[in-house]
Amino acid sequence: MSSFYDNLDAWVKRQKETKDLFMKAEKDYETADRLTLITLSRLAFQHMEKTIEAFDNWLKDPMITTHMPREMLVELWSQLREIFYKLIDLDIEHTSKFAEHLKKLEESDGINPLFTLRLTREEKESRRRPPTPII
């Protein structure tokens, strides 16, 4: 069992280190250039994906599911649901704002012509690719 505890301690330590690194990296994000903001966002999404996958595997583990008290599961869901709904709201808001931005650019011929070729092909194929997967 000691290796199990060691693994849990190491996981918590890595998560704290990752949080500290992100907090340092994003210190002046409000004045950062576009590339820095895209990089921060992509790295954050990658880490969230890894964390979510690990959390999901955690909840599949018979050792965990057998011994996790109901109260901890209620607490988990209480916090998880806030994150879940906030993420969905963020996706809706961000995608809607960007769609409006693109419409304005299109009206003023502000879209780079290299991308209009791709958009025209997609329209001809009547294919719509959502920005996020739909469940």
Is the Cβ–Cβ distance between 18 and 47 less than 8 Å? yes
b or e along 90-123 (b: 16 or more beta carbons within 10 Å of the residue's beta carbon)? Answer: eeeeeeeeeeeeeeeeeeeeeeeeeeeeeeeeee
For the chain, the maximum distance between any two Cα atoms, rounded to a whole number of angstroms, is 65
Domain boundaries, the chain: 1-68, 69-135
The band of 19, judged by pLDDT with boundaries at 50, 70 and 90, is very high
Is the Cβ–Cβ distance between 102 and 111 less than 8 Å? yes
- The whole-model pTM stands at 0.78
State pLDDT tens for residues 22-63.
999 999 999 999 999 999 999 999 999 999 999 999 999 999
